[in-house]
Structure 1
């Protein structure tokens, strides 16, 4: 049973979170402020630490800095948990070297997934022989799943900020990315300055790789649609890994082939489908990428929806109104909720 140290000054939240963790079979040590949390961490050396930022008697940043200076605690995975979800606060925590952040209020699944991911990452790193650690390209990876685990373990953490650039078209393709949280769009601009979205990437999706052999340039621009987190490794490192792992190279080639087939289908749809069909299919595409289940709402700008559909924003808005009138969707501000999934697929 893994031990989680929870440092949280809000008594009710501390007790509720402790219960969530215990029901998920974690041993929990709880501290009501940063100073006592540091003491517990040094004495007990938990497997992972979840720590609030704004607290009396040492805030979360000081807790991290103190523990990071001690040999016995500096390698313990550390997750910040705070209502301070602004970009600068997230960046402060991640730049210190924290492993992850969770914004309050949070879903139970977000907390548990973050803890599980960090513990798996630690186990993976500890399991790598020292001679492999010094030459990562020699690691043998037979599947895409192993490659993703590798990027999470040894890649750089990149904060995704809504509407902020990840990389720009025609710049050197220096990195390959894996989305951990949030959502990223790839797009190109036509000669009239109109944006066309060419790819959507959610948690667990790879993006940013364009060549298996030679250095390349990004053929698209990538921007975050939501705040989130990604990992990246250098393109040079990526190509070295592929040179030692032919099975992985084949699986990535199949992924690129599938993406190309999907893109061709999308282009045919843009050329020949009705405006209403383009709109309904675009909603379904975003739903598949953004929703945990079909009852969740999609929160996305109308311009992004129109960009994927390949129609004007005005045409998209008219189509949304027709779909709402037919009770296939419901609209509340930016939020779109699918009411009848089967009929939405059958729109012509």
Structure 2
């Protein structure tokens, strides 16, 4: 590494080179008599300033300057033209090609020395800034690694909470089925074979759903390879079927209107988790506010659905932050809707919420261009 700043002198007249070498001897100097050699030198040396003659054979200074400024490695090097050409159009062309200065021959030695010193000083400031930027980038890279590890730990905690959150409803449904069987056995009420098979199948579906919840979320922050086209209507109907025991127990009426004619490309398992989160949110609101005749209405179009309820809406103080972590409509963990937004974002969709006259309306829409 050089202790002095470096200057490349390019001039086809040796006597001019000798004068410049004597004048600029305090710097580290490299000289050449033609443009081609100058370009080769630039590929090997770290140059801080170029003094470039224009009128040279084979390749003139304008061409050399143009090539340097197109080279990403060397385009930052300041160039001062030294030329006997003193017409305005020549000077203008020099600046248009990217030169920082233009000195006409014969030049005043003090003036040239002063200009060279000024541009070298600027270059020194630039290098110092580049070094500081590189250091800051390095520091930030380390910080980002630490933040990434911390975020992975936080995400794991969030996912565990969400799995627990999502299991509440299926567990409640399993409890309802078992309680029904227990009550009938205690009261010696006969249970038909058909009813037993129906409830056994429903229990199996609930357990399967709980298992899928774990499988879906354990790899949530890795690329998904299960995306495929599916019917939003069928997916929502499956969630309703799994939830019907708790809906019936809580006297919640669910109505579905579907106008879907095209399938949606996304991860179906992850999508069902979102529907469960919204259903759970509505169910908890109904209980918290003791809503009479609780109702959920789902409307499905192509790649879009809305879920509305009559739960009296979301507090206007938190509605804009409802998808942020730990913001809850029901004094709960506030994880469900946060993860729901993460899922929809991951699948290339948009989820939003607003209040209606009687409750809130969640809207999910998937972008057409992802198909």
TM score, norm. by length of structure 2: 0.33
Larger C-alpha radius of gyration, 1 or 2? 2
More helix by share: 2
**TM-score of the aligned structures, taking structure 1 as reference length:** 0.35
Higher strand share: 1
